[in-house]
Structure 1
């Protein structure tokens, strides 16, 4: 059996405004009905695959399980990183955990935000790599190049790629155009997809040899990990001592037991809007569209509206990317797609909320979105899933007024509990201990009006919470 290890802690800033720190690209349905994360998990299922191990941040733990269950996939083990430490510590924590019960367990480490067009061929490619991995090799999967790409790292093989694993000669950092053209012509270079297959024991041994400074703190973080509902939370104090380093730099570029298996049936890392446009498909004029879009005399252009209320019209555009949302719009030259991350840094520097957060905020009980915000009031639309409940809580700085517009709410205010249906409302005084629940079988929708001197999400004191989130904005 192969255990998929899905890494989903990245922020995906190059796909802003759809991908933001609060809800990054792996959880978004960018190129189909499924999110990239759910699609990644789905292609690594079958008789040869165990339930996945997912490594993610605390804020995304409920999103991970919700999307896996919606796809009919056993969530398996979800390891919660207390803070982002890049990919090497995440992979090592998963390897150490699996090695506790089976040192020979096969691990397929994969990013959760790539698009692979033929899952069956990909699984067959993984199967070809199994003998080498069982023999103690670290197998990486190289993508047969279609053009002289400068945005990826490359892999140099010791021989031309064939059906079996071929020893790796070296990693090549992202090249300039001339070097990429030479490698494409040479025929024994592949793109580096960042997907690996090895046994747990093989990786632990490689990390012990090539990244010894990772071992003690990661081992301590796993040894002192605490169960948290259905999750396993790595120890925060030990994790703070873990160096932040990628698995390529820490292990792969130093190990001498690497082999490569080629995959050539369609892969896209969706690392920028130009890559997304290619994956979406284009018309005869090279135009890719999604959502409420009208394109007139446009060429080689991406037009995407991700808001039900925004009609996007492009006229006479050439080599342009336009992505429209309710609270932000991106307009960029297609050749500058990689510079979107610079724009995000500029927005963060000026304090723009849109740099990292959406108007819609996902929570384990549902979601809310801000409809209006000023210095002393905020209006939200709150949707609570059937059977879900917000925490029992109070606020220091704001009072609230709730108006049910759809479904039924069970509302607690101090000692009083009552049911509210459509068009009924309740006032929550400053400091009152309160809770909102949906006892019904359909989503419950209400409008919340907050008033007060401070309206931040961190003004929450939790007394009880079915999701065991602790204190803080999201817990």
Structure 2
């Protein structure tokens, strides 16, 4: 390849079928579901070869911008741009906006490797060969998909029909097939020539935009306008809200790939999972002799074919088969592992009830660009939180109309500003912040700052924050 491949990483989804771990405020791509790093970080690592790839373009929800920046920084991974979607509009306009941005930055001949950020992929020689073959075809003008050799009659994926051989040359797509029922899936596997549609693509920026102009002109117009009118915000690019929202809410498969005559496929059999449900997580996890996969403080007795995860308290399971148990610090899900696809319906039920809707949106631990906080105890007119602040970071200069606060340092060093007066606190020291005072918390040290915050007052909501100055552009 004469040019480096430009990765385009899609990181805006919410992953509701992996509740209660995955929630709107911190979805599955930013969680450590397999391995020791998040799925988003694993995606960045797959495109880290500087001899093959340029820095990645990430397109994500505005709410996830600081998580993206933080997790990329943890890897030391440079980014060519972080595009912020003002609203969710599916993959067609997201990829089109990224292609428009890449065209302006790398030229119309740029080859883009479009990758979901929430898949588990095994990188081996077959993977690398497929990437190189797809890139060569994309440089010639093909719009290439990656077709995964099916291992069982899966009903949760779309399929691609093509006269392709595993590890062979890129071939034209004969047709795309919607998610089939089991009988149809069994029949397709028996017939042969069908592959799972992985949702990974290799496309030339210019070729893809030409096809979008031909097949989905409204999508292209919205994408071009949203990039042209975008605003810079720190290290992020905010796509124009009105233009982006005008795009049809449609996937790139429906809008482009199922209609274009340029669709091609490279057939592969490297390890791949979309991790779209808890049974998919179970399949990719290490298991014991009884086919159980566990993580966290878990004890099993006479249990088989199950997935048990705990992020908090100890979970003990006795005498069950085919179950999934996922425990976080504020919710527990229990169901049949073979019916794990039903979690999405459960999330809809929880979201429709005002008493449980928060459980689908936020965790007890909320992450911020400076660190984060965990809710410890709530009561009438009081709330207790654990705050953690990264070295060198500081919160916004702010004040509250309805609450006073007490801060007690548990670990590290705190620099506290109250109405212009700066105080340095070390472990076991505390300070009182009266209602209405202008204050700021900073960590001037080399280790993480941890403190306990006690709030008292008539209203304790997070929206009672008046930001005066903020290094993250939120004032």
Range of TM-score over shorter length = over 0.9
Correspondence for 2:111: 106
Asked whether 1:28 is paired with 2:35, we answer no
Correspondence for 1:423: 428
Give 3-state SS (helix, strand or coil) of 1:232's partner.
strand
Deviations 1:197-216 (A, max 9, x none): 01100111111111111122
Partner Cα separation in structure 1 for residue 87 and residue 456 of structure 2? 33
Deviations 1:210-245 (A, max 9, x none): 111112222121111111111111122322322222
- Whether contact under 8 Å (2:165, 2:267) holds in the other structure is no
Deviations 1:327-371 (A, max 9, x none): 111100112201101111111122212122100000000010000
Q: Which residue among 408, 413, 416 is the counterpart of 2:418?
A: 413
Q: 1:380 to 1:256 in 2, by over 3 A?
A: same
Give 3-state SS (helix, strand or coil) of 1:100's partner.
helix
Asked whether 1:92 is paired with 2:96, we answer yes
After superposition, where does 1:37-436 map in structure 2 within 5 Å?
37-46=40-49, 47-101=51-105, 102-160=107-165, 163-307=168-312, 310-351=313-354, 352=356, 353-436=358-441
Task: Name the Cα RMSD after superposition.
Answer: 1.3
Give 3-state SS (helix, strand or coil) of 2:79's partner.
coil
Task: Give the superposition deviation at 1:186.
Answer: 1.4
Length-normalised TM-score, structure 1: 0.96
Partner Cα separation in structure 1 for residue 188 and residue 468 of structure 2? 60
Partner Cα separation in structure 1 for residue 125 and residue 467 of structure 2? 47
Unmatched 5+ stretches in structure 2 = none
Give 3-state SS (helix, strand or coil) of 1:197's partner.
strand
* Matched residue count: 468
Deviations 1:362-418 (A, max 9, x none): 000001000011242111000000000000111122221111111111111112111
- Whether contact under 8 Å (2:149, 2:267) holds in the other structure is yes
Task: Give the superposition deviation at 1:419.
Answer: 0.9
Partner Cα separation in structure 2 for residue 41 and residue 117 of structure 1? 13
Deviations 1:104-157 (A, max 9, x none): 000000100000122553222110112211111100001000011111111111
Partner Cα separation in structure 2 for residue 286 and residue 246 of structure 1? 36
State the 4+ residue runs in structure 1 displaced beyond 3 angstroms: 158-162
Correspondence for 1:473: none
Partner Cα separation in structure 1 for residue 242 and residue 439 of structure 2? 33
Unmatched 5+ stretches in structure 1 = 471-475
Partner Cα separation in structure 1 for residue 166 and residue 381 of structure 2? 64
Task: Give the superposition deviation at 1:323.
Answer: 0.8
Task: Give the superposition deviation at 1:162.
Answer: 5.2
Give 3-state SS (helix, strand or coil) of 1:323's partner.
strand
Q: 1:234 to 1:64 in 2, by over 3 A?
A: same
Partner Cα separation in structure 2 for residue 407 and residue 161 of structure 1? 55
Q: 1:217 to 1:18 in 2, by over 3 A?
A: same
Give 3-state SS (helix, strand or coil) of 1:76's partner.
strand
Task: Give the superposition deviation at 1:159.
Answer: 4.8
Partner Cα separation in structure 2 for residue 397 and residue 239 of structure 1? 37
Q: 1:435 to 1:262 in 2, by over 3 A?
A: same
Q: Which residue among 2, 5, 9 is the counterpart of 1:2?
A: 5
Deviations 1:418-450 (A, max 9, x none): 111112211112221111000111111111111
Q: 1:415 to 1:45 in 2, by over 3 A?
A: closer
Give 3-state SS (helix, strand or coil) of 2:202's partner.
strand
- Whether contact under 8 Å (1:69, 1:75) holds in the other structure is no
Give 3-state SS (helix, strand or coil) of 1:289's partner.
strand
Task: Give the superposition deviation at 1:160.
Answer: 4.8
Length-normalised TM-score, structure 2: 0.96
